[in-house]
């Protein structure tokens, strides 16, 4: 879920960009905007930056292991071919 402070900042920016007549409605508009943003963002399949970074590190480690395993398989195949020739 998105950081509540970030949602408040977005709602405030939207509120501040409203024309003066509408802006005078005040905090109620800001609360409604924040509620709508939370509801809509809650429907999205979002991850936090921390979760993204963790998954990126996991993916990199997995890629390194895959490369290492491919190399080991290649070496074993070469040994097997050598033994078959002897």
Cβ atoms of 4 and 48 within 8 Å: the answer is no
Of the candidates 3, 42, 8, 40, the one whose C-alpha atom is nearest the C-alpha of residue 27 is: 8
Tens digit of each residue's pLDDT, the chain (86 residues): 567 777 778 877 877 777 776 656 666 777 787 888 888 877 887 778 888 999 999 999 999 999 999 999 999 999 999 998 88
Quote the tokens at residue 78: 């070469």
pTM of the model: 0.48
Q: Compute the distance between CA of residue 51 and CA of residue 76 in angstroms, rounded to an integer.
A: 37
Residue 10, SS3? helix
pLDDT at residue 66 in the model: 95
């Amino acid at each position: 879920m998105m950081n509540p402070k970030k949602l408040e900042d977005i709602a405030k920016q939207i509120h501040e960009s409203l024309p003066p007549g509408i802006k005078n409605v005040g905090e109620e508009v800001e609360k409604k905007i924040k509620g709508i943003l939370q509801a809509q963002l809650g429907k999205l399949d979002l991850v936090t930056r921390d979760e993204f970074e963790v998954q990126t590190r996991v993916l990199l480690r997995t890629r390194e292991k895959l490369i290492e395993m491919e190399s080991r398989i290649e070496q074993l195949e070469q040994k097997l071919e050598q033994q078959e020739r002897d």
